[in-house]
Structure 1
Amino acid sequence: MLKRLVAIALIGSSVTFAGKILPNDELQLGLLAQAAQKKLVTLANMHLKGEVKEKFGNLYDEYTQGLMKIRLKKLQLIKEYAKNFKNMTDDKANKLLDDWMKVQKEELGLKEKYIAKFKKIMPASMVMRFYQIDNRINLLQEARVSALIPLTIPDQARRMQLQEAAKTKAAEKPSKK
């Protein structure tokens, strides 16, 4: 399952494997193939030509390299979550939430940075089209990852507190006759 999470989390990332054009590892090859497929879908739907297409492709590669670094951080958070989800304490949940928000802000910052860069090589309407395509692909990827991640189970002490509170509330509730 972890290999599957890694693969899904990194889809669309431009990956360099120790200077090799093609890696010998199956997982890395899969990631490379998925990144190439994402770029192919993106370029096909952008309908760019000539110099603009070339400049876009190069900038797209830079963008995806930055995005991959962020996605690796997300993967680390998912791994940390996986270790703790069956007995999640409030302290651990707060740490994971804080770290998740930092990564989300970092991704937003990267996107903002590249909006400006993409606007230098093509009109804003085409930049918008790119981000629409990119967001659709990313949403599909995130849906696949989310389907593999179980919901948090609060730690035993917290569950007991919630059960006691529910019993107390039920006992205080007047019955209707």
Structure 2
Amino acid sequence: MSGLRVLALLLSLGSAAALAADEDYALARKRLVESNLQLSPEEATRFWPLYERYWSELSALTARREYYYNEFGNNFDNMTDELAKKITLGYIAVEEDRYRILKSFFPKFVAAISAKKAARYYQIEAKIQSAVNSEIAARIPLIK
């Protein structure tokens, strides 16, 4: 899967904030996973319910992550050291929670579809996440 192909698909769906809440994004993401993971029918039966639980947990972090992006934007012109510290530490906490979820689900994916396919799935997700992060980074200016 080409990173540019994933990025083009994600960017065609709209802004990063809209992507997080948009059902089309969830469907597009699921289709990307489906077309690149190549599961047998038996694996698919075990994988997709686990995938739904996994994304339910990750989606809970979306509002928190978006809050910190908005804080950067809302305070761009009047950013203080204290606020910059608060926003950055909050964002780091969200990322730590995201990695805890990734780590806790990996053995479950391994049990459902094999270590090799679970690793492939995590690669697919990393490419998608990288494309989304790239768009977000392009939209948020550096603090003055």
Task: Using structure 1 for the length normalisation, give the TM-score.
Answer: 0.70
Shift of 1:5: 3.9
- Which region of structure 1 is more displaced relative to structure 2, 130-139 or 84-93? 84-93
2:17 maps to 1:6:
yes
Q: Which residue of 1 aligns with 2:129?
A: 138
Shift of 1:103: 0.5
Which amino acid in 1 is paired with 2:85? N
Contact 2:16–2:136 under 8 Å retained in 1:
yes
Task: Using structure 2 for the length normalisation, give the TM-score.
Answer: 0.85
Shift of 1:64: 1.1
Distance (whole Å) between structure 1 residues aligned to residue 116 and residue 126 of structure 2 = 15
Q: Which residue of 2 aligns with 1:165?
A: none
Pairwise mapping of residues 6-155 of structure 1 onto structure 2 (< 5 A)? 6-8=17-19, 10=20, 31-153=22-144
The structure, 1 or 2, with the larger RCO (C-alpha pairs under 8 Å, 6+ apart) is 2
Contact 2:46–2:113 under 8 Å retained in 1:
no
* Structure with higher helix content: 2
Corresponding residue pairs, total: 131
Which of 1 and 2 has greater Rg?
A: 1
Summarize the Cα distance change of 1:5–1:50 in structure 2 as closer, same or farther, 3 Å threshold: closer
Q: How big is each residue's C-alpha offset from its partner over 1:115-143, in whole Å with a ceiling of 9 and x where there is no partner? A: 01111112111111000000001110111
Distance (whole Å) between structure 2 residues aligned to residue 125 and residue 59 of structure 1 = 17
What runs of 5+ residues in structure 1 fail to find an aligned partner?
Answer: 11-27, 154-177
Shift of 1:49: 1.1
- Structure 1 residue runs of 4+, over 2 Å off? none
| Cα RMSD, aligned residues only | 1.4
Contact 2:16–2:132 under 8 Å retained in 1:
no
Distance (whole Å) between structure 2 residues aligned to residue 34 and residue 101 of structure 1 = 24
Q: How big is each residue's C-alpha offset from its partner over 1:78-109, in whole Å with a ceiling of 9 and x where there is no partner? A: 11111112221110011111111111100000
